[in-house]
């Protein structure tokens, strides 16, 4: 465990250097702040273009909240897939990382932890803009702290393991890794109830959506903070049932992702794709 912690800390330090050393601290800070603020203002513009009735405001609050937390998907899940692309295509160091004592799994976990921190900063800034500019607020006295705390922890674990699975696919599919990353970002956005309720999805896709822990995560967060969800299909589930389903989905996701990543990494090594660049 001591060795793992030391290697994880080294990977996290490397991840911070990669994320932040392309600019001086002031420019990096401006970039880190401007990006989430721009996203929040775009959502605000969408809201102002709609009918601001009480019903619409409640729906928009859930929409805004899910968009704010979706930054963990774009930063962590998809970001871990981009780690593989960067290491292999831009820096051409993937084979050295793979052969190092740290290993790919610890390297990805450490760098993913840095992305979680950056995503948290973006989340906080987005929620601040939502609170003061758009009016997306909640009553702190009515916040369900138990489900909120549990869902936050389970959501972070789900994002890390889903990111591990995306990274494994990137190792195995070098030529399509970039398209895979972009496609999954849009796919999760549409499938997991971020922009509209999953009830609007056709049958089959609704069941697929419920199998993804992110769908249950967004619904739990809405209920814990706003007091209401967005899906009529999940409306009859109590908060403990929803958290329990999220915990079960997270455990299954972790098992499948860890197994799937190892299989794809082994396959990529046998096919000689770990250091295969596309010159793209």
Tokens 């401006």 correspond to: 30
Mean pLDDT of the chain: 88
Model pLDDT for residues 203-248, shown as the tens digit of each residue:
999 999 999 999 999 999 999 999 999 899 999 999 999 999 999 9
pLDDT surpasses 80 at 64:
yes
DSSP result, 220-255:
HHHHHHHS--S-STTTTS-HHHHHHHHHHHHHHHHH
Dihedral Cα 66, 257, 103, 184, nearest 10 deg: -50
Sign of CA dihedral 174, 82, 73, 266: positive
- Domain extents for the chain? 2-271
Cα–Cα separations (whole angstroms), residue 97 to 101, 167, 190, 271: 8, 14, 34, 18
Q: How far apart are the first and last CA of the chain?
A: 39
Whole-structure pTM value: 0.91
Model pLDDT for residues 37-62, shown as the tens digit of each residue:
787 778 777 777 765 555 567 888 88
Q: How many CA atoms lie within 13 A of 262 on its CB side?
A: 5
């Amino acid at each position: 465990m001591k060795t793992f912690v030391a290697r994880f800390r080294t990977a996290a330090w490397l991840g911070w250097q990669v994320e932040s050393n392309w600019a001086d601290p002031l420019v990096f800070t401006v970039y880190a702040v401007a990006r989430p603020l721009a996203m929040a203002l775009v959502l605000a513009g969408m809201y102002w273009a709609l009918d601001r009735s009480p019903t619409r405001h409640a729906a928009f609050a859930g929409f805004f909240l899910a968009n704010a937390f979706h930054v963990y998907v774009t930063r962590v899940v998809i970001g871990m897939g981009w780690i593989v692309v960067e290491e292999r295509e831009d820096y051409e160091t993937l084979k050295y990382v793979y052969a190092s004592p740290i290993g790919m799994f610890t390297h990805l976990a450490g760098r993913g932890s840095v992305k979680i921190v950056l995503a948290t900063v973006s989340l906080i800034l987005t929620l601040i803009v939502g609170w003061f500019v758009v009016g997306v607020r909640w009553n702190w006295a009515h916040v369900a702290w138990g489900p909120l705390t549990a869902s936050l922890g389970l959501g972070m674990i789900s994002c890390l393991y889903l990111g591990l699975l995306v990274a494994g696919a990137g190792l195995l599919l070098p030529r399509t890794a970039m398209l895979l990353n972009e496609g999954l970002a849009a796919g999760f956005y549409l499938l997991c109830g971020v922009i509209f309720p999953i009830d609007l999805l056709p049958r089959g896709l609704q069941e697929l959506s419920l199998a993804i822990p992110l769908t249950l995560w967004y619904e739990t967060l809405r209920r814990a903070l706003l007091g209401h969800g967005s899906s009529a299909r999940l409306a009859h589930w109590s908060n403990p049932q929803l958290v329990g389903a999220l915990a079960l989905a997270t455990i299954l996701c972790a098992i499948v992702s860890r197994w799937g990543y190892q299989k794809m990494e082994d396959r990529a090594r046998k096919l000689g794709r770990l250091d295969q660049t596309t010159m793209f």
